[in-house]
Amino acid sequence: MTVKQLSMPELVDTCVQLGIPGVGLWRAPVQSYGLERTAELIRGAGLTVTTLCRGGFFTAIDPAERAAALDDNRLAIDEAATLGTDTLVLVSGGLPAGSKDLHGARERIADALAELGPYAEERGVRLAIEPLHPMYAADRCVVSTLTQALDIAERFPAHQVGVTVDTYHLWWDDQAPAQIARAGAGGRIHTFQLADWTTPLPEGVLNGRGQIGDGSIDMREWKAYVEAAGYTGPIEVELFNDALWARDGREVLAETATRFVEHTT
């Protein structure tokens, strides 16, 4: 999504040129290019799919909506398996219309994971609850902290349910470093994502994630936390940013690779 202006072949080609060994994919562009075709393209280029984004949206109360969400998540798990990634990132869902019950919504997420965990395990896919910044609690994700994500994840085996650690969502939280240690000790850090925090936030607060190095987050500090917790997996850069999307995608990807090296090594 960092360079969604690139076609799938352009993305793969640019990754290869830049020496980027793996790529996290979102479902819509994969479906648009074709699931099997994407899997072949990536495999043929010698790249790996680090994660698939995103499953989730588990908080509906209406039974039909809830069943549809579970069906869609089973499909997402199947897609992840076909793409050869072991991790499906979950954006768990906000409050249903008219509801003010955060606790109930969080419990419905746990209920959904109880149904999906074994299905994912059978296909070699781990579910990674992503705590989203508290500014998304109402409309996208009622799981706002790593503490909350682990409180849910730890009800399940680590090879079924873990967490996504994303600097953009967690950087403000002084409890997050200890929770990263907790997650690491339990083998539950299923992916680690970087984005920087820049202000002012845009209307709707979705597409203002800053390029690495442009904002308030010390990337080395957060990388050190996950490394100290035993994480050795890929590090993803996930930027939703209208200004970056308006530029040449290859140039943005090259810049991102440079910034990554500058700010994490």
Q: Are 147 and 179 in contact (CB under 8 A)?
A: yes
- Region binding its own copies by CB under 8 A among candidate stretches 60-68, 134-142, 182-190, 231-239: 134-142
Q: For strand 126-129 and strand 161-166, is the pairing parallel, antiparallel, or unpaired?
A: parallel
Residue 78 vs 101, nearer CB to its own copies: 101
Select the residue interacting with its own copies from 22, 29, 84, 134 (CB under 8 A): 134
Residue 171 vs 231, nearer CB to its own copies: 171
When asked if residue 148 is in the footprint of its own copies (CB under 8 A), the reply is yes
When asked if residue 200 is in the footprint of its own copies (CB under 8 A), the reply is yes
- Region binding its own copies by CB under 8 A among candidate stretches 36-44, 83-91, 159-167, 192-200: 192-200
The nearest distance, CB 102 to its own copies, in angstroms, is 7
Residue 47 vs 136, nearer CB to its own copies: 136
The nearest distance, CB 218 to its own copies, in angstroms, is 4
CA distances from 221 to 6, 53, 132, 177, 216 (A): 31, 25, 19, 10, 12
The alpha-helical segments, DSSP class H, found in 102-174 are: 102-122, 146-153, 167-170
CA distances from 157 to 126, 136, 153, 160, 224 (A): 10, 27, 8, 5, 25
Select the residue interacting with its own copies from 217, 237, 239, 253 (CB under 8 A): 217
Question: CA angle, corner 139, sides to 103 and 144, nearest 5?
Answer: 50
The nearest distance, CB 125 to its own copies, in angstroms, is 28
Q: Are 63 and 69 in contact (CB under 8 A)?
A: no
50 sits in which H/E element:
strand 48-56
Residue 215 vs 234, nearer CB to its own copies: 215
When asked if residue 139 is in the footprint of its own copies (CB under 8 A), the reply is yes
- Region binding its own copies by CB under 8 A among candidate stretches 156-164, 215-223, 227-235, 240-248: 215-223
DSSP letter at 193?
E
When asked if residue 211 is in the footprint of its own copies (CB under 8 A), the reply is no
The nearest distance, CB 174 to its own copies, in angstroms, is 6
When asked if residue 91 is in the footprint of its own copies (CB under 8 A), the reply is no
Q: Residues, the chain, total?
A: 265
Near its own copies in 157-176, by CB under 8 A: 171-175
The nearest distance, CB 170 to its own copies, in angstroms, is 9
When asked if residue 214 is in the footprint of its own copies (CB under 8 A), the reply is no
When asked if residue 234 is in the footprint of its own copies (CB under 8 A), the reply is no
CA 112/CA 127 separation, integer angstroms: 11
Q: Are 136 and 93 in contact (CB under 8 A)?
A: no
CA 65/CA 73 separation, integer angstroms: 12
Amino acid at 136: Y
Q: Which residues bind its own copies (CB under 8 A)?
A: 95, 99-103, 106, 133-135, 137-139, 142, 144-145, 147-148, 171-175, 197, 199-205, 215-218, 221
